[in-house]
Amino acid sequence: MSAPLSPGEIQTALAGLAGWTFERDALAKAYAFKNFREALSFMLRVGFEAEALNHHPEWTNVYNRVAVRLNTHDAGAKVTAKDVELAGRMEKISRV
């Protein structure tokens, strides 16, 4: 079971995650891509990372937009280090 991060730890993590916010007990970000193909490609690449971490995002996709929310269900739906790790990996993938 993962331990929830404190509010201070969350704020520190957000400082290194451009565009991410903390809302309703989750890390959140909306990505915009050139088109659907780029959005879908991003989701596919993130899917492999999420599976490797055994930590899966809550997300939606409409055309070129992908909205993401991350929290950890086995930690009471709170933000944990797993969420910060996956958000960091998403940022790297989004720049490819």
pTM of the model: 0.95
Q: pLDDT: is 2 or 50 the higher one?
A: 50
pLDDT of residue 1: 73
Tokens of 83: 């969420």
Instruction: Identify the structural domains of the chain with CATH numbers, from first to last.
Output: 7-94 (3.30.1360.20)
- On the CB side of 42, CA atoms within 13 Å amount to 29
Do residues 78 and 27 touch, judged by C-beta distance below 8 A?
no
For 45-80, the pLDDT digits (tens) are 999 999 999 999 999 999 999 999 999 999 999 999
pLDDT of residue 6: 97
Q: What is the 3-state secondary structure (H, E, C) of 36-47?
A: HHHHHHHHHHHH
Q: How many CB atoms lie within 10 A of CB 40?
A: 14
d(CA 25, CA 76): 10
Residue 96 has pLDDT above 90, yes or no: no
